[in-house]
Amino acid sequence: MRAPIFQVDAFTTQRFAGNPAAVIVLPEFLDDAVMQAIAAENNLAETAFLVADNGDYRLRWFTPLLEVPLCGHATLASAAVVMERLQPERQQVLFHSASGPLAVQKTPSGYAMDFPRRIAQRVAAPPADLIDALGLAPLEIYADRFNYLALLDNAQQVRELKPNLALIATLDRSGVAVTAAGDGVYDFVSRYFAPAKGIPEDPVTGGAHCALAPFWAQRLNKTVFHAYQASRRGGELHCRLAGERVVLEGACVFYLSGEIEI
């Protein structure tokens, strides 16, 4: 069989920046092993699989190594595929996923996603391997059930950090976000490492910002943020707290469209 494939740079207005995601449109989900093999073949941080469902879409995400319960940039890319390629008359779309219903709305500057909020709790006794992996002692360390979150002194530390990825891969969380207050037009900056998921460094991470937005809300006493993920490719997000949800907004740029043969 053949299936349409799109590659989209998410959370950016410039091609070759942001976070690239593959989006594959299917009549029905394939066997998990086949979708995992496709994601490994694509070798991007995430491959999203879309199936139309009574006006909505079912959505699943795979890294090169495993399926994940939530992926922000591949959801943004999927919304762009639906509203720019499959059904350009649409202004919004609802995705049904392992993380529940995810609504995405077209905006003048891109797409706004409605995601569940994540609350990270401070870790009283951080794992020694985490501090060794970062190569420095963070000001504070927090954790939710998915990731560790390390607060660093300043944005320059975040940008220049060279962590030990092999050590990070052995931790009891699937990823580590490092963050600091912004030093310019951004409220805060971050980076995200998830080698255990086959993603040494994720260029721009929507899921991590579901925890970063409420984390910074407590420190900055505000609910709307302009954030920057300081990876090599780099990407921008506009974040807004809305009760138990986080609205993440960003732009997308199409890079590739074609077909895969299975």
Q: What is the pLDDT of residue 219?
A: 97
CATH number, domain 2-114+248-261, options 3.10.310.10, 3.50.50.60, 1.10.3720.10, 3.90.1170.50: 3.10.310.10
Confidence label for 104 from pLDDT (cuts 50, 70 and 90): very high
Q: What is the pLDDT of residue 193?
A: 98
The full set of domain ranges for the chain reads: 2-114+248-261, 121-242
Q: Write out the two tokens for 229.
A: 């993920």
- What is the CATH code of the structural domain delimited by 121-242? 3.10.310.10
Q: Please give the Cα distance from 228 to 232 (Å, whole number).
A: 12
84 DSSP assignment: I
Q: What is the mean pLDDT of the chain?
A: 97
Q: Which residue from 106, 136, 78 is spatially nearest to 254, judged by alpha carbons?
A: 78
Q: Write out the two tokens for 99.
A: 């993380």
Active-site residue identified among 28, 46, 244, 261: 46
Confidence label for 229 from pLDDT (cuts 50, 70 and 90): very high
Q: Please give the Cα distance from 99 to 248 (Å, whole number).
A: 15
Query: What is residue 141's three-state secondary structure?
Result: strand
Query: What is residue 62's three-state secondary structure?
Result: strand
Answer whether 76's CB lies under 8 Å from 106's CB: no
Residue reference for tokens 């919304």 = 79
Mean pLDDT of 69-92: 98
> 126 CB contacts (<8 Å, ≥6 apart)?
138, 141, 148
Q: What is the pLDDT of residue 83?
A: 98
For this structure, is 249 an active site residue? no
Confidence label for 46 from pLDDT (cuts 50, 70 and 90): very high
The 10s digit of each residue's pLDDT in 93-102 is 999 999 999 9
The 10s digit of each residue's pLDDT in 151-188 is 999 999 999 999 999 999 999 999 999 999 999 899 99
Mean pLDDT of 121-142: 96
Q: β-strands 56-62, 67-68: how paired?
A: antiparallel
The 10s digit of each residue's pLDDT in 237-258 is 999 999 999 999 999 999 999 9
**CA atoms 133, 134, 139, 140: torsion sign:** negative
Q: Please give the Cα distance from 190 to 205 (Å, whole number).
A: 9
Residue reference for tokens 């529940």 = 100
Same fold for the pair 2-114+248-261 and 121-242: yes
H or E stretch at 215: helix 206-220
